[in-house]
A and B are shown apart, each in its own frame.
Chain A
Amino acid sequence: MKLTRRSLLKGVAAAGAAGAAGAVYRRAEARAKKQPPPDAVAMLFDSTRCIGCRACMEKCKEANDLPPDRVRLDGVPYDAPIDLSGTTKTVIKLYQGSGKTAFMKAQCLHCVDPACVSACMLGALNKREYGVVTYQKNKCVGCRYCQIACAFNVPRFEWNSPAPQIVKCEMCHHRFPEGKGPACAEVCPREAIQFGKLKELRAEAQKRIQDNPWRYHPDVFGDTEVGGTQVLYLSAVPFDKLGLPKVGDEPVPAMGETIQHGIYKGFIAPIALYAVTAYVVVRNVRRGEAEEQEEAARKPGEGEERKP
């Protein structure tokens, strides 16, 4: 009897070890690198061209029907957002330091391999036409895991609404059918924001750096960062000064997805665990019943009051 139990336990342990070994082995497997779609669109923000007029912010609110972020100064309400929020999809921020000033346009970067899309349970956030990361409120339960996942803290939540939505830049994709691009790019007086094809804007960014190397930081943020983004940044100062986090080239969801898909590959491990557990429990229950019958036979009358 003892031997059987021991062998069963060994079986369970072996199955567990095999599963773990498999998971570790698969972790080593590289996750396929995601590519932007061939027709991917993009935005290029050139910080050195921006003069901070904030016309883009105003136009964004108009194009996306967003209410103002009211700040009261001297009794007068102004629309003066200082950060992204449930009512603001883009913000111009100013960096001043070490003798240089630089403007930054905060907005969704439309990652090629977005963490929010990986996190979203029902695909409310998804990469749709032209690789734009868009939001569908009817598939959103409001769990806010996208906010945990995004390395750039882009998705915002309508905290004081009984029917809240996730708010983020969707590149004005609702204007695409009219043949229009993002409102901010359209209104920018200095062409600091440009909208176009990803391939062309990547080349354009490189060209600007090559033509005026003294003017720019040598890197284009978004070329390789977090697996590439469809919003590219050019700047005179290091990008972390603009509030962009220091990130590597690996896509943000890569580690989590690799580990989870390793453990759950083909759903084999869960099915095996279920089958082994059910088998062991059936054996144990039967053995318990057999023992009880033996005992009942030995001591007639007493067995009935005992619990099986």
Chain B
Amino acid sequence: MSDVARPLGGRIFTPGFVVLLALAGVSGVLILVRVFGGVGSITAMTDGYPWGIWKPLNVVTFTGVAAGAYGIGLLCYVLNRGKYHPLVRPAVLVGALGYSLAGFSVLVDLGRWWNAWKLGEFWYFNLNSVLLEVAICVLTYVGVLWVEVTPAILESWQSSRSSRLRRVAAKGLPFMKKAFPFIIALAILLPTMHQSSLGSLYLVAIYKLHPLWLTPLLPLLFLLSCLTMGYGGVIIMDTLLAVAYPTYRRDVKLSASVSKVAAAMLWVYVAIRVADLAWHSRLGLLFTSGWKSFFFWLEIALFVIPALLLGNPHRRRDPGILFRAALLTVMGGSLYRFDTYLVGYDPGPGWSYFPSVNELLVSIGLASAGIAVFVFAAKKFPILSAGPAHGVRKPAQSTP
């Protein structure tokens, strides 16, 4: 086992990195416009479609992909499959970044964002509000994810030139090791709660959500889709890192095992989804709901096709097929979530919505910022399983 995490090393300001920063900068300018001009100044949102594309994309899709931290955590720590350990740190970093961006996006989207601190005034809590549960859970989980990232930073400080940083590392690492199981338990509980609740949010839209998507099982289907998306995201990340960084040590077999779990989850999702529609006698809607039927078929195809591809052991060990299947898996989960939040959501006659360019640019900029921070961190801190790089004096002592 050579799963020692090391910084990738290498130049930070590559041309790609500069492009990412530029895109992030564009979204920064747009966010400034929004602060002074209101949400309507840069978005196409209306009173009929008040959540536009930011909620389904920046929050519900970003955190879905970021749920790789949750999915790998389940495999590695709860089911005790130690072999997944090399994927934990990168998945957790992607998780921390994805969730932080989602949180930041919500802040940009909130009309009265300066009141957000009042979410700490628990005596005002409306315990009937699904969104309150999501908000509190997500905020707490962002904190938990960054705590999970700290061992990597502390390890890099072990070999720091500053004696103060070395002391912090010497004290912090043993503490982290002791607290670890209790942090992991939180890191399992919180996503279970809020990822399911992201589905429950639309249980209130009983007259707006199309019956192909409105079901009491929304929380369960959202939980399953975050796992498929998370596993898909981890495989995509693993592939891209191997392509981009020659020092990154990739274990294709490991990704293939992850994809096997993903395939199982995809089938479970499909079975529950179809059984639920049959139970509610809604199978007829698969053919009679016009373009909504079309989106359903597209969505279910994006679950079935990767499940078929990954079900075959030979195919899933082929890095190309593995990567494509992982892409389809993430697209399927995302489309299910988009369908629930936008395609299947109909506030009534007379309303329509299509995202504005600026709205999309903000999303693209936020994603770029996330990728930039990931690349920076992977180069500077021991996140990834990598070959020896410059600037590391001794192999870092690693905590789980």
Q: What residues of chain A have their CB less than 8 Å away from a CB belonging to chain B?
A: 5, 9, 12, 27, 84-85, 115, 117-123, 137-145, 147-149, 151, 153, 155-165, 245-247, 252-253, 255-257, 259-261, 263-264, 270, 273-275, 277-278, 280-282, 284-285, 287-288, 305-308
Contact = CB atoms under 8 A, between A and B. Distances in A.
Contacts of A247: 207
Contact of A140 (B48, B80, B112): B112
B83 interface: no
Contacts of A140: 111-112, 115
A162 B35 contact: yes
A147 B347 CA distance: 9
A214 to B, nearest CB: 30
B133 A260 contact: yes
Interface of B: 1, 3-4, 35-41, 45-48, 50-51, 77-80, 82, 85, 106, 109-113, 115-116, 118-119, 121, 124-126, 128-133, 135, 180-182, 184-186, 188-189, 192-193, 196-197, 200-208, 216, 219, 347-348, 351, 395, 398-400
Dominant secondary structure of chain B at its interface with chain A:
helix
B110 to A, nearest CB: 5
Given A143-B131, A253-B128, A277-B189, A153 B347 contact: yes
B136 to A, nearest CB: 9
Nearest to B40: A159
A287 B400 CA distance: 13
B197 A122 contact: no
23 contacts: A9-B79, A85-B47, A118-B129, A122-B119, A123-B124, A139-B118, A147-B50, A157-B50, A159-B47, A160-B38, A164-B39, A164-B112, A257-B128, A260-B200, A263-B196, A270-B193, A278-B185, A281-B185, A285-B400, A288-B80, A307-B1, A307-B398, A308-B398
A281 B129 contact: no
A145 B131 contact: yes
A256 to B, nearest CB: 3
A277 B184 contact: yes
A143 B400 CA distance: 38
Contacts, number: 196
Contacts of A120: 126, 129
A115 B204 contact: yes
Given A120-B129, A164-B38, A282-B181, A287 B399 contact: no
Contacts of B205: 148-149
A160 B41 CA distance: 6
A149 B47 contact: no
Nearest to B85: A307
Contacts of B1: 306-307
